[in-house]
Amino acid sequence: MPLLPSAPARKWLAAAVLTLFVAAFGDGFSQDKKDAKPAAKPKTLDQLNADEVLRLVRYSYTLYDRDFVGQLRQGPRKKIPFTLSLQPKYIRFKFDDPPQIIHLSTANDQFFLKEVVAGSDAQVPPERYGQSIRGTDVTYDDLSMRFLYWPEARIVAEDKIKTRKCWVVRVRNPDGHGLYATVDIWVDKGSGGLMRMVGYNTQGRAIRRFEVLHGKKLQDVWMVDEMRVETFDPNTGKRLSHTYLEILDAAPTVRVPKKEKTGDE
């Protein structure tokens, strides 16, 4: 799952992301000089509509070009290591034992999810979106955050999480695939970072919740390094299980040794 910067960097990131977002997607001057007209005044974060808020969240993922090592942790003993690659055009989770890569293409603001396993390199079929990843509370839908691409989003409320002002954006599943019929997303108004997600079934009952718990600086990048993923019984509201998604450190840079010159060169 894509991870976003935490509190110490939010003030700077809010300005940087919004500037880049407006530069990339905002109104500008016409390319035809005779039809040129002044650009519309850029919107502030508070003026964004729901679709623009989700687009800002997706766009902020493309600012990275880094690899990180992390784990899915369930209980005191079950720990599943992974390597997370955040790149301008894709997000990739790489697992070992057995080898598995879950790859989300983010090019052109589109959703394309594929999986690479032994003997297969193909798009993840919709009927598997709600499938658990390695027996944890995290699914393919959750890792890819497919709901950030659903149309017709609505801002339904404003809220605070740990003193952070947030939009609450509601999206409805347009195709019926996966576990969620509706998802509520808490987005930090100061940075565009995702703070919480609650997924509901077709009866409007909560079945899963994500919560950002902590962040830290890894080298020169501020990251959310711990999220809790909880699964609930829709009938009783009781928590059935939970998994922590943790980013432990920046991945070491692999240096290719220089070829030594020989006397013939």
- Establish if 257 belongs to a structural domain: no
Higher per-residue pLDDT: 173 or 59: 173
- Contact (Cβ atoms closer than 8 angstroms) between residue 10 and residue 190: yes
pLDDT at 86: 86
Whether 199 and 183 have beta carbons less than 8 Å apart is answered as yes
Backbone angles phi, psi at 145, to 5 degrees: 50, 50
Strands 120-123 and 154-161: unpaired
Q: Is residue 58 part of a domain?
A: yes
Cβ burial 123-141 (10 Å sphere, 16+ → b, else e): ebeeeebbeebeebbbbbb
Confirm if 146 and 131 have CB atoms less than 8 A apart: no
Asked if the structure places residue 190 within a domain, the reply is yes
Could you give the number of structural domains in the chain?
Answer: 1
Query: Tell me, what's the pLDDT at 26?
Result: 41
Residue 195 lies in a domain: yes
Give domain status of residue 1, yes or no: no
* Residue 163 belongs to a domain: yes
Residue 218 is assigned to a structural domain of this protein: yes
Structural domain contains residue 150: yes
> pLDDT at position 45, please?
63
**254 pLDDT exceeds 80?**
no
Residue 257 pLDDT: 56
Q: Which residue has the higher pLDDT, 17 or 89?
A: 89
pLDDT in the model for residue 234: 96
State the average pLDDT over residues 95-115: 88
Q: For 149-191, what is each residue's pLDDT tens digit?
A: 898 899 999 999 988 899 999 999 999 999 999 999 999 887 7
Domain of residue 152: give its range: 7-25+38-250
Q: How far is CA 111 from the centre of its chain?
A: 12
* Residues whose CB is less than 8 angstroms from the CB of residue 41 and which lie 6 or more positions away in sequence, other chains included: none
Give the CATH number, domain containing residue 179: 2.50.20.10
